[in-house]
Amino acid sequence: MLPGKRREPRRRCEIDVEVRHGERVHRGRAFDLSRTGISIRISAYASLNKGDEVDIHSPELGWLQGRIVWRSPQRIGVMFKNSTNTTAKVESFFRSGALARA
């Protein structure tokens, strides 16, 4: 989704994450986060594509589910599945002050 079309503002972050798709696990680093999605730097060789359903895990956020909505050679954009659980986890992360330390 283009920056001008985003539903929620994104906030810069630096969070190590695992992206799981089926049996495969890819390590990456989230670099921005919003209430509705996350952008992740990932290996150009990761077998992830637009439309893939993924699970994302980090100690800071816990488990989140979403769908890849864009892919560039070394980045993916994931839109979270809309749920009260996801909203609560992201809001808790924002309130924790972790972004100020990133």
Instruction: Calculate the alpha carbon distances from 10 to 32, 39, 45, 94 in Å.
Output: 6, 9, 26, 11
Which tokens belong to 13? 């972050």
The predicted pLDDT at position 95 comes to 82
The predicted pLDDT at position 102 comes to 47
The predicted pLDDT at position 89 comes to 87
Share of the chain above pLDDT 90, in %: 58
Question: How high is the mean pLDDT of the chain?
Answer: 86
pTM of the complete model: 0.83
The predicted pLDDT at position 45 comes to 81
The DSSP 8-state label assigned to residue 4 in this structure reads G
Instruction: Summarize pLDDT for 26-65 with one digit per residue, the tens.
Output: 999 999 999 899 999 998 888 899 999 999 999 999 999 9
Lowest-pLDDT choice from 6-15, 44-53, 80-89? 6-15
The predicted pLDDT at position 99 comes to 53
- Establish how many alpha carbons lie within 13 A of residue 44's alpha carbon, considering only the half-sphere containing its beta carbon: 1
